[in-house]
Amino acid sequence: MKTFCIRSLFFASITLLLIACGEEKKERIKMPTTDLSKASLIPKPLKTIPTNSAFALDQFTAIYTSKDATGFEEVGTFLADKIKDKINLSIPVNSEGANTVERVIYINQSDSTALDSPEAYQLYINQDSIIINSNTAEGAFRGIQTLRQLVPLESNDTLALQKIWPVPTGKITDNPNFAYRGSMLDVARHFFSVDDVKKYIDLLSYYKINVLHLHLSDDQGWRIEIKSWPKLTEVGGSTEVGGESGGFYTQEDYKEIVRYAAERYMTIIPEIDMPGHTNAASVSYPFLNGNGKTPKLYEGMRVGFSTFDTHKDTVYAFIDDVVREISAITPGPYFHVGGDESHVTKKKDYIYFINKVEKIVQKHGKRMIGWDEVAIADVDSTSISQWWASEENAKKAVDKGMQIIVSPAKKAYLDMEYDTLSKFGLHWAAYIPVDTAYIWTPEEYGIPMENILGVEAPLWSETISNIDELEYLAFPRIIGYSELSWSIKENRDWENYKVRLADQAPFLDRMDVKYYPSKLIDWKKSNYTYEIIK
Ligand code: NAG
């Protein structure tokens, strides 16, 4: 309580001081009128109240963060770095005695009960101060994404000459609808470098996505170093779809991805897909498939032809090592075991296998996630089902009391083609144009709200082999999935969204994102045209 009062006093006096100094400055700078409720924010915040004036972001602005509040200074520094990247303006963070400071951005740890989830935040933008309140650094981090989106890339003429960027004033109260807002990247069919994954993570975090699920193994490749089973990557990591040389993450690489994601309050979920989708593992260690044959490396696109031997103890000893090594370098609470399309595993063997693997995952301190098929086994209510194909399996999972990650292929698969002219992608589930990707609700499938953990958009990589192609399939649809999982239904409307989406163009161009320029969107501020639109 005492620290709270001191902090509030300190904070109130800074604000008063700044209001006093600000009055003088206001006469000199003619700031535009604004409307915060029309700002192109994605995902749309819970509540926005505009006050129609503007905060002048310029070289006399400084960032201060709550003292002794874990992670808050780092959030302040992150914001300063991003503002520097965006508009080349350097803003000091927690600098003492900066007497040229006229306006502050204050990132404040509050203990308000109104901010009832760790990601909730309030953003007050006044003419002379910006205040972000959150109970946690995670909430503050979500709040600064909103603020980043409000900083214009370019200022208008007069203000631009004075190097002032106007930020619309008002109050935002925000809180995610779903705690799990995910994306998945298949690095098994085609391998993506650590730098590619980092670029993707950074873009996702701008839209408040907080989970990246990495599909680390499949028939075509094994992508993570397992020290006790080195051939997995030496042999199983050596190719990919189409026969290129593949690749893998060393454990140090993986830790670097985890660290980079954690800096953005994003959880990494590792997936080792089994008992099907395991050809690359069985090429590396042929005892795993139990049929006495050494399979060949596979570079095609078929699914459902491989399986582990579900009866051998040595197979479970192998899985134990894999889960143990990966869990030890994964701080997040989840481990994804795949479990999809085990077409050549007998049903009773499949059930036996999933039950055993669930215990292994739990032994290593993680919650099991599996594709929706796992619900046919005797899984625990603490395990999670990722619904992608079968409504019947989703229902079974609900009956077992499991939580569900909503990823219906027809709506949420980023590897589905946009339309018949799409340069990349598949269309076995559907064509998914940008509006179809947005106009649905996770609640519409009859899964009770309390069973929905969140939404995830998987990006399978059979047809894409580099970051440009990844971006083509992911953007702009992933931006819509962020809104579907963060914003409440009442705040989602396609006509309103598509205008806000078009306004992302300058940012996406600036980040060199090779997005698909859908004709459904009026990208007038974009520099970027993909040949398909011609
Ligand atoms: C599914 C497979 C996946 C494949 C994808 C392509 C799941 C859970 N399984 O058949 O291995 O890459 O389609 O869209 O999606």
Which tens digit of pLDDT belongs to each residue from 34-59? 999 999 999 999 999 999 999 999 99
pLDDT of residue 155: 79
pLDDT of residue 157: 78
pLDDT of residue 98: 62
For atom 15 of ligand 1, the residue with the nearest CA is: 388
pLDDT of residue 113: 83
* Residue among 214, 341, 411 whose CB has most ligand 1 atoms within 8 A, to mutate: 341
Distance (angstroms) between ligand 1 centre and the Cα of 460 equals 7
| C-alpha–C-alpha distance, residues 69 and 108, integer Å | 9
pLDDT of residue 530: 63
Distance (angstroms) between ligand 1 centre and the Cα of 456 equals 14
**Does the ipTM exceed 0.95?**
yes
129: buried, middle or exposed (CB in 10 Å: 19+, 13-18, 0-12)?
Answer: buried
- Residue 54: other Cβ atoms inside 10 A: 21
For atom 6 of ligand 1, the residue with the nearest CA is: 460
Q: Which residues make beta-bridge pairs with 386?
A: 371, 405
Rounded to 10°, the helix 494-502/477-486 angle is 130
Distance (angstroms) between ligand 1 centre and the Cα of 186 equals 10
Residue type at position 74: E
Q: What's 352's DSSP letter?
A: H
In this prediction, the residues of the chain whose per-residue pLDDT falls under 50 are: 1-10, 12, 15-26, 532-534
Q: Where are the alpha helices (DSSP H) in 279-379?
A: 279-284, 313-328, 347-363
Look up the CATH superfamily of 10-174: Chitobiase/beta-hexosaminidase domain 2-like (3.30.379.10)
For atom 7 of ligand 1, the residue with the nearest CA is: 340
Q: Which two tokens stand for residue 297?
A: 């490396």
Order across the sheet with 61-65: list the strands. Answer: 47-57, 165-174, 121-125, 129-134, 103-109, 61-65
pLDDT of residue 5: 40
Contacts of 154 (CB under 8 A, 6+ apart): 160, 506
Q: Is 119 marked active-site?
A: no
Atom of ligand 1 nearest to the CA of 371: 8
Atom of ligand 1 nearest to the CA of 388: 8
Protein residues with CB under 6 Å of any ligand 1 atom = 303, 340-341, 371, 388, 413, 415, 426, 460, 462
pLDDT of residue 154: 83
For the chain, the domains span 10-174
Q: Which two tokens stand for residue 52?
A: 């129609």
Contacts of 334 (CB under 8 A, 6+ apart): 267, 269, 366, 367, 368, 369, 384
Q: What's 188's DSSP letter?
A: S
